[in-house]
A and B are shown apart, each in its own frame.
Chain A
């Protein structure tokens, strides 16, 4: 059990009480002894008094006996002269004021003389015959009990002596003493008021008493029992008045009488109470003094202690400690010094801590990554601005106020798209003790729908004992990286695509080039061979007309060579040079190109769809149209009512243009060879041409990223289609 600490004053009081207790016990023990002794003193004094009073009473009786014995030795008794006796008795009585009467009786108790009664009167029997008998038997004087004088009817105490005549008891001489005699003796004692005093005869009957009691009153039960117990004593008991009092008594062995004094209990106990009171007062005073001392000492200790406590509290609040001032207690002064030192140490440590904290704070604040620290109850302990910005909050304070606003504002999902509930959010996972690095989640703001990718790293923070106390989560916005990554991937893909495209283009170009060089080798050699051969024939020619014919043929061949070289140049020109797209009115261009052909052969019917626009390289498109329209014109040369038309449509989402004629057409099976350089489907004698025209068309269309193809049948005309690539379509849309 842990007890509440008690104040120093209480401890001191307890100490004082503990030390005072034996003293008090001793004091009270001593007090009890003293009280007892005081009471014993009173008892002893009272007993002394009773004995003294008893002696005084006995002295009165002895005096009476002595007087009586002297009278008994008188000669009147030898002579039995009752008359003389009467006279002498009257004289004796006159000298004894304490006596009522003097009488004489025979050994049976029959009175024979009475000083109060006239001589010769009839006399009664004596009172208290028991005393009379004892006197006769012992021949010694005896004191009787309080009785009534039978002759005079007055109460009195008979004191008797034997009168011996001739060696035998002849008479009993009795003096009847006035009880007031003893009353005077008692009163002469000058006992304090409220004390009772009494003299009792052998039958415990009060002879006299102060205050007075009626004749014949006997001792109260307590006193009676005490008188039976011993010759003297001290006891506490009820008086005849029924009051509890201390009583002392003494019985005389001479007379058999007793004297008793009763003292009020208060008077007996008073000294005892005085002593007890004194002791109690002394004890109380000592206790008070000790308590006061303890209190004083306590205050002297407690005051500096309180100052220490206040100083410690101040220290706790971080206020520098004030000097303690004059402290008289060495230990407290030492504690004060130690506290002051501790204060300095704490202040130094706090300054160091504060410096480190602000450094840490600055580092955390300057981090581009978001940092949040949450305690085990889920409260935010620390959060930096980067973290707030990352989740779309104006300031860290907004997040700090209530972390729950975060879950109200954002949702999270895995990169794959599965939603992540708040209980599986990074902070919650770390609170469960998990550690992880660079877990990427998609964060979405529910209010704006904005999304971004965040990489989270989390780690529990533990105390010295290894118990988790905090959760640390670092988050980084990786959206930009992801975007760049995606763009890069896209770029790579498109680059690969472009490379493939370009490669295939290059391959096509290469094939073209091979085919081209093949054809050049053939087609350029052919006229050379012709010229050489014709020249050989010319040498042998017989007639003038034959020679002329051969010369014409040679010239035709050189023209053809020249034409070939021009066309090759054209082809190489369309293959190189920059492609610049602009808006081209194809309809107008077709009309313009066709005009030059129409001048040579106006019979060809031309129909042109108006307002056909394209986005293409104007000069290349002109060359393209020149070739296609030229072809159409050429292959309708042998066609009755020739027609050429231009129009457009859409194929594969792109605008497609076409030139149609109703001329010679071509064998469907040979359609693929149409666009190869130097491929000719017709004999030169039928249709002139170098075989390069459609190759040029193909090259121009390809350079635009488009495609050219033809449909037709032998003798049923032909349609040449072409598109001008993506650049054309996009522009037209816009």
Chain B
């Protein structure tokens, strides 16, 4: 079974564009969408709902209504079961502080949303390939 990519994004347009790009570069990978931080945690944390998700990759926007991206990141990295999930911050923020905070909270990567769609597709390809391949290797090792 293929592990899904969880996209956490409140902006509908961005979500659509990213999902289109992911479909384009990794048509075989299932992509799930969380519309805010609360939704994302409900999907990932145990006891927070039936069938907790074990995603191959979490693409996390920082600017979210309610619980924002950094809080979601902290929650995931605090929890031993979810600590191993690769979390890539995908944001439009230019703030160096956001970058440093993210890394302090053990984000696996920090990527700024590129403006051009072509660049976005390239980025999506690189990310999905890298993290999905790693996951497959790890899964292989485990099995």
Q: Name the interface residues of A506-543: CB closer than 8 Å to any CB of B.
A: 518, 521-523, 525-530, 532-537, 539
A532 and B116 contacting across the interface, CB-CB below 8 Å: yes
Closest CB-CB distance, B138 to chain A, in whole Å? Answer: 31
A530 and B13 contacting across the interface, CB-CB below 8 Å: yes
B66 and A536 contacting across the interface, CB-CB below 8 Å: no
Residue from B20, B63, B118 whose CB has the most chain A CB atoms within 10 Å: B63
Kindly report which residue of chain A lies nearest to residue B62, judged by CB atoms. Answer: A522
Tell yes or no: B17 within 8 A of A by CB: yes
Among A132-140, A339-347, A348-356, A677-685, the stretch in contact with B: A677-685
Tell yes or no: B1 within 8 A of A by CB: no
Tell yes or no: A557 within 8 A of B by CB: yes
Q: Known A532-B117, A683-B35; judge A521-B14 contact (CB<8 A).
A: no
Q: Known A522-B92, A526-B11, A537-B16; judge A680-B116 contact (CB<8 A).
A: no
Kindly report which residue of chain A lies nearest to residue B92, judged by CB atoms. Answer: A525
Complex alpha-carbon distance, A684 and B12, angstroms: 9
Complex alpha-carbon distance, A44 and B116, angstroms: 193
Tell yes or no: B136 within 8 A of A by CB: no
Complex alpha-carbon distance, A523 and B16, angstroms: 18
A528 and B115 contacting across the interface, CB-CB below 8 Å: yes
Encoded as 1 (CB less than 8 Å from any A CB) or 0, chain B from 13 to 35 comes to: 11011101000000000000001
Tell yes or no: B127 within 8 A of A by CB: no
Q: Name the interface residues of B1-17: CB closer than 8 Å to any CB of A.
A: 10-14, 16-17
Q: Name the interface residues of B64-97: CB closer than 8 Å to any CB of A.
A: 65-66, 91-95
**In the complex, what residues of A have CB within 8 A of residue B16's CB?**
533-534, 537
Tell yes or no: A670 within 8 A of B by CB: yes
Tell yes or no: A667 within 8 A of B by CB: yes
Tell yes or no: A553 within 8 A of B by CB: yes
Complex alpha-carbon distance, A684 and B9, angstroms: 12
**In the complex, what residues of B have CB within 8 A of residue A526's CB?**
11, 14, 63, 92
Q: Known A533-B14, A537-B17; judge A683-B117 contact (CB<8 A).
A: no
Closest CB-CB distance, B64 to chain A, in whole Å? Answer: 9
A533 and B17 contacting across the interface, CB-CB below 8 Å: yes
**In the complex, what residues of B have CB within 8 A of residue A537's CB?**
16-17, 20, 117
Q: Known A522-B92, A537-B17; judge A530-B11 contact (CB<8 A).
A: yes
B93 and A522 contacting across the interface, CB-CB below 8 Å: yes
Q: Known A518-B93, A521-B95, A534-B13; judge A670-B66 contact (CB<8 A).
A: yes
Closest CB-CB distance, B126 to chain A, in whole Å? Answer: 17
Q: Known A522-B92, A525-B92, A685-B12; judge A533-B117 contact (CB<8 A).
A: yes
**In the complex, what residues of B have CB within 8 A of residue A535's CB?**
117
Complex alpha-carbon distance, A685 and B93, angstroms: 21
A532 and B11 contacting across the interface, CB-CB below 8 Å: no
B120 and A536 contacting across the interface, CB-CB below 8 Å: yes
A680 and B11 contacting across the interface, CB-CB below 8 Å: no
Encoded as 1 (CB less than 8 Å from any B CB) or 0, chain A from 673 to 708 comes to: 000001011111100000000000000000000000
B65 and A680 contacting across the interface, CB-CB below 8 Å: yes
B13 and A557 contacting across the interface, CB-CB below 8 Å: yes
A529 and B65 contacting across the interface, CB-CB below 8 Å: no
A529 and B95 contacting across the interface, CB-CB below 8 Å: no
**In the complex, what residues of B have CB within 8 A of residue A680's CB?**
65
A684 and B11 contacting across the interface, CB-CB below 8 Å: yes
Question: Which of B35, B95, B117 is in CB contact (< 8 Å) with A536?
Answer: B117
Complex alpha-carbon distance, A667 and B68, angstroms: 13
Question: Which of B10, B92, B94, B117 is in CB contact (< 8 Å) with A684?
Answer: B10
B65 and A522 contacting across the interface, CB-CB below 8 Å: no
Complex alpha-carbon distance, A685 and B17, angstroms: 17
**In the complex, what residues of A have CB within 8 A of residue B114's CB?**
529
Encoded as 1 (CB less than 8 Å from any B CB) or 0, chain A from 385 to 424 comes to: 0000000000000000000000000000000000000000
Closest CB-CB distance, A549 to chain B, in whole Å? Answer: 10
**In the complex, what residues of B have CB within 8 A of residue A525's CB?**
92, 94, 113, 115
Total number of B residues with any Cβ neighbor in A under 8 Å:
28
Complex alpha-carbon distance, A557 and B13, angstroms: 9
Complex alpha-carbon distance, A529 and B13, angstroms: 9
**In the complex, what residues of A have CB within 8 A of residue B95's CB?**
518, 521
Complex alpha-carbon distance, A683 and B113, angstroms: 20
Number of A-B pairs whose CB atoms are under 8 Å?
78
Encoded as 1 (CB less than 8 Å from any A CB) or 0, chain B from 111 to 143 comes to: 001111110110000000000000000000000
Complex alpha-carbon distance, A527 and B14, angstroms: 9
Q: Known A535-B117, A537-B117, A685-B12; judge A530-B93 contact (CB<8 A).
A: no
**In the complex, what residues of B have CB within 8 A of residue A553's CB?**
13
Complex alpha-carbon distance, A323 and B14, angstroms: 131
**In the complex, what residues of B have CB within 8 A of residue A529's CB?**
14, 17, 92, 113-115
Complex alpha-carbon distance, A289 and B94, angstroms: 145
Question: Which of A534, A539, A681 is in CB contact (< 8 Å) with B66?
Answer: A681
Complex alpha-carbon distance, A532 and B91, angstroms: 15
Complex alpha-carbon distance, A183 and B120, angstroms: 213
Closest CB-CB distance, B99 to chain A, in whole Å? Answer: 12
Closest CB-CB distance, B34 to chain A, in whole Å? Answer: 11
Complex alpha-carbon distance, A528 and B120, angstroms: 13
A681 and B120 contacting across the interface, CB-CB below 8 Å: no
**In the complex, what residues of B have CB within 8 A of residue A678's CB?**
63
**In the complex, what residues of A have CB within 8 A of residue B18's CB?**
533
Q: Known A518-B95, A529-B92, A537-B20; judge A682-B65 contact (CB<8 A).
A: yes
B36 and A533 contacting across the interface, CB-CB below 8 Å: no
Complex alpha-carbon distance, A539 and B121, angstroms: 13
Complex alpha-carbon distance, A529 and B119, angstroms: 11
**In the complex, what residues of B have CB within 8 A of residue A539's CB?**
117
Kindly report which residue of chain B lies nearest to residue A524, judged by CB atoms. Answer: B92
Q: Known A522-B63, A683-B65; judge A536-B93 contact (CB<8 A).
A: no
**In the complex, what residues of B have CB within 8 A of residue A523's CB?**
63
Complex alpha-carbon distance, A682 and B37, angstroms: 11
**In the complex, what residues of A have CB within 8 A of residue B91's CB?**
522
**In the complex, what residues of B have CB within 8 A of residue A518's CB?**
93, 95
Question: Which of B10, B92, B94, B120 is in CB contact (< 8 Å) with A683?
Answer: B10
Closest CB-CB distance, A681 to chain B, in whole Å? Answer: 6
Complex alpha-carbon distance, A670 and B113, angstroms: 27
**In the complex, what residues of A have CB within 8 A of residue B13's CB?**
527, 530, 533-534, 553, 557
B116 and A536 contacting across the interface, CB-CB below 8 Å: yes
Closest CB-CB distance, A690 to chain B, in whole Å? Answer: 13
Q: Name the interface residues of A212-245: CB closer than 8 Å to any CB of B.
A: none
Closest CB-CB distance, A181 to chain B, in whole Å? Answer: 195
Q: Known A537-B20, A670-B66, A683-B36; judge A530-B14 contact (CB<8 A).
A: yes
Complex alpha-carbon distance, A411 and B93, angstroms: 75
Closest CB-CB distance, B101 to chain A, in whole Å? Answer: 12
Complex alpha-carbon distance, A521 and B96, angstroms: 12
B10 and A536 contacting across the interface, CB-CB below 8 Å: no
Q: Name the interface residues of A564-592: CB closer than 8 Å to any CB of B.
A: none
- 11 A-B pairs with CB atoms under 8 Å apart are A521-B94, A525-B92, A526-B14, A526-B92, A529-B17, A530-B13, A534-B17, A537-B16, A537-B20, A684-B10, A684-B11
A533-B18, A680-B65 given; 5 more Cβ-contact pairs under 8 Å = A522-B63, A530-B14, A533-B14, A683-B36, A683-B65
Identify the B interface with A (CB < 8 A): 10-14, 16-18, 20, 35-36, 62-63, 65-66, 91-95, 113-118, 120-121
Give 4 closest A-B pairs by Cβ, nearest first. A536-B117, A533-B17, A530-B13, A525-B92
Identify the A interface with B (CB < 8 A): 518, 521-523, 525-530, 532-537, 539, 553, 557, 667, 670, 678, 680-685
